[in-house]
Amino acid sequence: MIRKPVRAQVRSTSGTWAFQAALDRRGLGPVAGVDEAGRGACAGPLVVAAAVLRTGDAARFAGLTDSKLLTAAARDRMHDLVLERALDHAVVVVPADEVDAIGVHVANVEGMRRAVARLGTHPGYVLTDGFPVPGLTAPNAPLVKGDRVAACVAAASVLAKVTRDRIMAELHEELPVYGFDVHKGYGTAAHTAALLEHGPSGQHRWSYANVAAAAARLGLEPPPHRVARGVPTAGVVQNGGPPQTGGGRPATRRGADR
């Protein structure tokens, strides 16, 4: 259900807290923000977070914005501040095999539903980044570039990205040949070269076009039951650009014993 507050005045002087302030004035608080990290990556999990910030806490969150615009050190500091000051938060990790099984968009929507459902404080309204999310348990609305215009969405963005970056650093310890600690599973030139040399791992998303292509070149098949029929082949984001089409369990060569 998507519902916009009737005649809620958004005051530009409130900055990234304007949407939350307007909803609070209409009695629609507390307001939760929801965002994800890793949608465009071709390896690692999709991480979705929800955050509810306290009304009147704007001064404590100076500099809070889209996590991609912050340095790693600034993200870590803001992550800890959100954990300390937020009224409530929840983080959902969707593993790569689930992304393959149901498709990245469905996984993203389902992850957002789970994140909101896991909040101990039931929100009066939910703001999502970029697109509407059906099936939420509260009235909600999408915001274009929500992580840059709404503080609660930015807070969720920080939680999701820092959590995912730390997971990718751990995966690097298990699978160092791919360089997950550097590119975080996105389709950089170095990651592509590693895929073509070593083939995909069980932490790669086999439903993504570049992963499937690398596997095919090396005569590799996905782990059994990994990619569901009917799931469209996903594109991959190269260095933060638009999607391009076309330790984990190792892949299996065609004809080899499994």
The residues facing 37 across adjacent strands are: 47
**Largest Cα–Cα separation, the chain:** 65
- C-beta separation of 58 from 172 below 8 A: no
CA distance 206 to 204: 6
CB 64 within 8 A of CB 148: no
Does the annotation place 100 within a ligand binding site? no
Going edge to edge, which strands form the sheet with 125-129?
88-94, 46-52, 31-37, 125-129, 140-143
Q: Is 36 annotated as a binding residue?
A: yes
CA distances from 230 to 101, 162, 227 (A): 9, 32, 9
In 3D space, the residue among 210, 198, 212 whose CA is nearest the CA of residue 247 turns out to be 198
Binding-site residues for a divalent metal cation, in ranges, read 35-36, 129
Binding-site residues, in ranges, read 35-36, 129
